[in-house]
Amino acid sequence: MRILVIGGDGYCGWATALHLSACGHDVTILDNLVRRKWDRDLGVSSLTPIRGIGERLRSWEATTGKKIGFIKADATNYAALVEAFQTVEPEAIVNFGQQRSAPFSMIDRDHAALTMVNNTLCNLNVLWAMREHAPAAHLVKLGTMGEYGTPNIEIEEGFITIEHKGRRDTLPFPKQPGSFYHLTKVSDSDQLFFTCRIWGLRATDLNQGVVYGLDTEETTLAPALVNRFDYDGVYGTALNRFCVEAALGHPLTVYGRGGQTRGFINIVDTVRCVRLAVETPAEAGEFRVFNQFTQTFSVLSLAHSVVRVGAAMGLSVELQHVENPRVEKELHYYSSVNNHLLALGLEPTLLDDPTIEGMIRTAARYEKRVDTGQIPATVQWAAGSPPGRPAVPAKVVRRS
């Protein structure tokens, strides 16, 4: 299948492009490499050294004998996107081409506007390009479980059947986004649902949980294929941050009480889910929503797991509760359905102690690349908080 992977230089996009290529698909990456620029602007970098896109692709071809095409273009530029569609003639489009950090979108007005314009226009352009140049193609769009928020009911997969005043209907599940980034994802879902109904497009929205892990089968084949490992306060996730802190002997910084509970998925399963969605496409006019996660954890439970694994490795690891920079419920009900991908054959890769140990050892291996000044969360959600202030040590409010 001819597949255009938009945003294929990023964390999920790179691993997915390699996996689809390894499975025999004809893959072309479209990327403007702006994520690398944003890193430079923020003064952050991946823990693992990321090679240039040319070296990455040459290494893949030399290692596997398979070629991945590359088009340097910005998906918010419609003319450039159309040219890519005409060149590739995609049968499937996988769209990762968006600014993916909630903290980034909350730094200040400029970063919020950048996120809103980049993400919404990218998605809109892809849908118009499909309508005009690839109407039979299938769009697999990366969404987020963060669209739903933390409702006090079971989270269904995209839709919910309700009864109201004696009538019954199936409607999109209510959305409670937690940042400007999450707002763009809600808009994406609405755009997909609308264009499938009106234009007869076919699309699958993958509402993904928090992704963890570094390696997939493909990224380990050569050093130049290594994937990103973000740990900073803007792009880093809690588990990545905890593993880096454990390797450095730094207390694990738990935001607030740590009761925030979310869905999680290993990067190994991310690429498998995308492939399953690509290889079993939606019907014309069909808008599917898959909740793409395999387990749920609270932030505090993840921290305790890292403490336990660190102790088994001979590390002395403590917890440090710090002020939560976000406006969110820290204790709440959280339960979600994830049946669709399991029905398609996904066999979940569950978080275990060897996985956490491997992440801690990776952090120790690249210890000299860690900038501890980038670990504290400095982007504040609340009104009146200083937006995007320089990194400062996190304030300790409780210790355990």
Amino acid letter for position 16: T
**Bridge partner list, 254:** 321
- Cα distance between residue 219 and residue 208, in whole Å: 21
- Cα distance between residue 158 and residue 348, in whole Å: 21
> Which region, left, alpha or beta, applies to residue 370 given φ > 0 means left and ψ of -120 to 50 means alpha?
beta
Q: Among residues 181, 235, 255, 334, which one is catalytic? A: 181
Q: Among residues 16, 28, 76, 144, which one is catalytic? A: 144
Closest to 35 in 3D by CA, of 67, 65, 72, 68:
72
Inter-residue contact 172 to 189 (CB < 8 Å): yes
181 is catalytic: yes
Half-sphere exposure of 238 (CA within 13 A, CB side): 27
Q: Among residues 11, 76, 120, 185, which one is catalytic? A: 185
Secondary structure element (H or E) that encloses residue 399, with its range: strand 396-399
Inter-residue contact 336 to 293 (CB < 8 Å): yes
- Give the orientation angle of helix 53-64 with respect to helix 11-22, to 10 degrees: 20
Contacts of 281 (CB under 8 A, 6+ apart): 92, 138, 202, 204
- Cα distance between residue 217 and residue 194, in whole Å: 37
Q: Which residues are tagged catalytic?
A: 144, 181, 185
